[in-house]
Structure 1
Amino acid sequence: MGCVRPPPSLPPRFGLDPARMRLPVSDEWATVRDHVVGRVPLSPAQVDAMFAAGRFHDQHGPLPIDAPYVSGGSVWFHRDLPDEAPVPFAVEVAFREDRVLVADKPHFLATIPRGRHVRETALVRLRDEHGLPDLSPAHRLDRPTAGVVLFVIAREDRGTYQNLFRDRRVSKTYEAIAPYRPDLGTPQVVRSRIVKERGIVTAREVDGEPNAETLVEVLEYRDDPALGAIARYRLTPHTGRTHQLRLHLCSLGVPILGDTFYPRVRDVGLDDFRAPLQLLARTLSWPDPRTDEPVTVHSRRRLQAWDDPAGWAAGP
């Protein structure tokens, strides 16, 4: 009863595995239904309707409403999904081989399901579009950030690739569009201590031993009629703290264009796809775990504020 994988009778829906509910070792409940009523935030009538529709399964198939409670067992079901604003941009495949897939993620698409974003995530779309039910990310990009993200195709390979990131054997470069300051002095290495507190959307820099490091370089700059003096920056992070690149450019006095968190939080609707954050994960490099040969993947995306500044500036 305690198998980890979902039962064959309840396949993924929209690329999402069903939720697993473990049944505690107890004789407190006579039926599975009695236990479910106390576990899920639904009325008894809603739970009964789900049983009637065959939505609760064990490893043998759908459970009837009077199915006896099995101490230590498991039950699977698909949760109701939140209403989501469709993200009108495709997630593309930049690289694929037998063990990994590198997605070229658009702005506004979250990497994995979380909170109000479930179906409109790169993971769910890729699982559904490419028939890869066990696909999982080896790392993540923030929802506003576009660019390359590494996914692992098979469950048994997940740890191998996650360990590459843990051991800092993966190299990443980003590009950003931000104001240009001739007095900035680049290339420059920015080091600071960044903390992110649970329940607070922004991270912050505090005094103390640095735990975040970014190499900042100016690739080119110009005076633009719509945006003023702007530059295209290359950012090479040597650590991976939450919002590290956004904080480090902001601390230099050149916040990334389109940033709704730094230097101040701005309220923008989830269905407002104008003026995306001008931050792009440009390259991703790692040693192949089998051969140790280097693999490098490049994003094919472009940052709008550099290519079409007037169009980008027409946003909010």
Structure 2
Amino acid sequence: MTAHDFVPPMIRGVTASKLFLPALQPAPQRLYDYLCQQFAHISAQEWQQRFQDQLIYAADGTILSLDSAYLANQHIYYYRFLAHEIHVPFQHHILYETDDLYIVDKPHFLTMSPTGQYVQETLLVRLKNQMGNADLTPIHRLDRETAGLVLFSKRPATRGIYQQMFAHREVKKTYHAIAAYHSTLEFPRTVCLRMDKGQPFYTMKIVDGEPNSETQIDILEHNSQWAKYLLQPETGKQHQLRVHLNHLGITIKNDPLYPIVQHKSDDDFSNPLQLLAKRIQFIDPVTNKSMDFSSNFELTL
């Protein structure tokens, strides 16, 4: 087997990360020493455990050890598992599949892909474990707090075609949200704003300038306090719907970021953000079939 032949196996739904080892002066003696320096946010004990668990490979598939030398201008593969991970007690549902796609209903509180304190408890890894397909990749994304429809690519050969469909705005997405009802606001209306990175870095803010985000907003029903809104984004900026409604003074119910960041415990699954990716419509670029799906989740006043 040559280095080019080796494909790291999927382990417990996790595919390996690839890392290039640059030429350094002075060069580290051991790979372990370099990994501890390069990834200071990961403890030395965790790297030791990964070597002991045989989760680090050379480019040719050799399993590396704690004493393996640092070899510059080579690639290695490593896997990421967490010793302790909070279980997310909500289930996803595969609503439909083709040879190329899964259409999945994501619950609130489930992160899309491995990040931070979540690996196994992410939608991507759950699906990989469930279906045994290492090639699964989300074609677009939903926030951890948002529930509803998301598309996953099953095959690298057609992935780009579906990604282009989103890039060219050929997908019609409809969201529902529960937010404050103000009788003085008239609907339907179109909101066009310029958004940019905010502070903290994981939030967004409104800035002056040419609009780069657009949402069509209408009202479905309301009582004296709350309304159920229908939202159709024309663009796909991060947190767009949350920022647009907050800008109108009708913050989405239970929003932990807008207008003020309010940190909750990671194991607090009460009061989900009342935002749902309810419907998705597109012409499948591979089969040329008209696709129209609705989430089984519902938001109620």
**TM-score normalised by the chain length of structure 2:** 0.88
How far 1:67 moved relative to its partner?
5.2
1:178 aligned partner, one-letter code: A
The number of equivalent residue pairs is 295
Q: Call closer, same or farther: CA 1:264–1:182 in 2, change over 3 Å.
A: same
Most deviating of 257-266 and 138-147: 257-266
Q: Please, which of 284, 289, 297 is the counterpart of residue 285 of structure 2? A: 289
Q: Which residue of 2 aligns with 1:299?
A: 295
Gaps of 5+ in 2: none
How far 1:88 moved relative to its partner?
0.4
Q: Which residue of 2 aligns with 1:77?
A: 78
Native 8 Å contact 1:27 1:71 kept in 2:
no
Native 8 Å contact 2:31 2:68 kept in 1:
no
Native 8 Å contact 1:284 1:296 kept in 2:
yes
Most deviating of 153-162 and 65-74: 65-74
Q: Which residue of 2 aligns with 1:254?
A: 250
Q: Secondary structure at the match of 2:128?
A: helix
How far 1:116 moved relative to its partner?
2.0
1:159 aligned partner, one-letter code: G
How far 1:202 moved relative to its partner?
1.6
Q: Which residue of 2 aligns with 1:219?
A: 220
Native 8 Å contact 1:196 1:242 kept in 2:
no
How far 1:107 moved relative to its partner?
0.5
Q: Please, which of 8, 17, 21 is the counterpart of residue 19 of structure 2? A: 21
CA distance in 1, matches of 2:138, 2:31: 33
How far 1:53 moved relative to its partner?
4.6
Describe how 1:34-45 pairs up with structure 2 within 5 A. 34-40=30-36, 41=40
Describe how 1:1-316 pairs up with structure 2 within 5 A. 3=4, 6-7=7-8, 11-24=9-22, 34-40=30-36, 41=40, 50-51=50-51, 53-58=53-58, 59-63=60-64, 71-81=72-82, 83-197=84-198, 200-223=201-224, 229-303=225-299, 305-306=300-301
How far 1:45 moved relative to its partner?
7.8
Gaps of 5+ in 1: 224-228, 307-316
How far 1:291 moved relative to its partner?
3.7
Q: Call closer, same or farther: CA 1:67–1:256 in 2, change over 3 Å.
A: closer
> Root-mean-square deviation (CA), in Å?
2.6
How far 1:264 moved relative to its partner?
1.4
CA distance in 2, matches of 1:4, 1:209: 49
Q: Call closer, same or farther: CA 1:81–1:180 in 2, change over 3 Å.
A: same
How far 1:68 moved relative to its partner?
5.9
2:144 aligned partner, one-letter code: R
Q: Residue deviations 1:28-49, cap 9 Å, x none?
A: 769xx71332233478787566
CA distance in 2, matches of 1:193, 1:67: 51
Q: Call closer, same or farther: CA 1:254–1:164 in 2, change over 3 Å.
A: same
Native 8 Å contact 1:95 1:102 kept in 2:
yes
